[in-house]
Structure 1
Amino acid sequence: MNSELLRGRLEFLREAEKLKDVLRSAHTSSGRQESTAEHSWRLCLMALLFEDQLGDLDLLQVLKMCIVHDLGEAIHGDIPAVEQGAHPDKSQQEREDLQFLARTLDAPARQRLLDLWDEYEGAVSTEARTVKALDKLETLLQHTQGQNPADFDYRFNLDYGRRYTSATPLFQALREQIDADTQRRLDAAE
């Protein structure tokens, strides 16, 4: 075993641990702010749970993208969906942050991570578009079950991510149920 390769990968894992402390705008059901790592975990769980409904997809590729899709946020944090329009360079920044994060990795491992992130970000495969849809649905699901602040913008959720969540009957059906929960939260807040 190459000790330099192992040392670099361990250092990467130490740096990636920072994702546990990156907070998102969503709140858990107990009222605590959710971390990006927690979001990524449940996104993986969603992919695994709906595997039998996803058709002929490469589940391993889907899970890899679920794990990698927000990894760059370990450096500069998360930009809430409602604020992303004000950050046109978000994608470029996240890729640069992922490159920085992966700097200690051997070239093949670093390239695998970047290729996964590029595939996801560009939505260039059915697997990537699936992860994009599940990512939006997981976010919406969290918003419907979290103890959110009184000024939480539920109305934004009703349009968020439709480009991806309208792509298949499964995503449409999930979206319909989550939107009904969102509407109930919106009605209760008014």
Structure 2
Amino acid sequence: MSDTLTLYTNPMSRGQIARWMLEEVGAPYDAVLLDYATTMKAPDYLAINPMGKVPAIVHNGTIVTECAAICAYLADAFPAANLAPPTTARGAYYRWLFFAAGPVEAAITNTAMGFVLPEGRDRSAGYGSLDAVLDTLEQAVSGTTWICGTQFTAADVYVGSQVDWGLAFGTMPARPAFTAYAQRLRARPAYQRQKDIDGTLIAAMQKQG
């Protein structure tokens, strides 16, 4: 029996990350486009993700939400794509996946929303400070081609999306290491396919008003 793989997404969302990962995997998939105000909050989708948010995937009946989890799951579910290191060499892989999902996401979001930590309370926040997060992320993408060295992995899809979006929206400074990393990511055929697909969908949605 062949795999069934469905992506639930909106092109103007983090669903772009999941689609990029799916394009890297190369397995056929169906995409269901959801609207923020209606279908994302409908009972049939809430049964998949009670948060009423995208993306989500359903693979042979298995539901996975959260972008970092989707990336890691797909890398394991489709090993032929070679998007995860051997299990004995996954230290950097797990480290930076979770770093991007935790400290990077929190620090960037809080800063963009104007949240300011009270003086002396850095230790109470998991990310410490935005500067500490950015300095650490810069080290992670410096000195090697990819997060795990010479092998492109699912961690690059997730971490790379954070960097790519941060540069595009101005929420991350254009440090040389970040821009060089983003340029390498943007050269990948799967990245370009995802941008073409979601870009076309966004243009159609905007045309409809």
TM range (shorter): 0.3 to 0.5
Question: Please, what TM-score do these two structures have when normalized by structure 1?
Answer: 0.40
Q: Which has the higher helix share?
A: 1
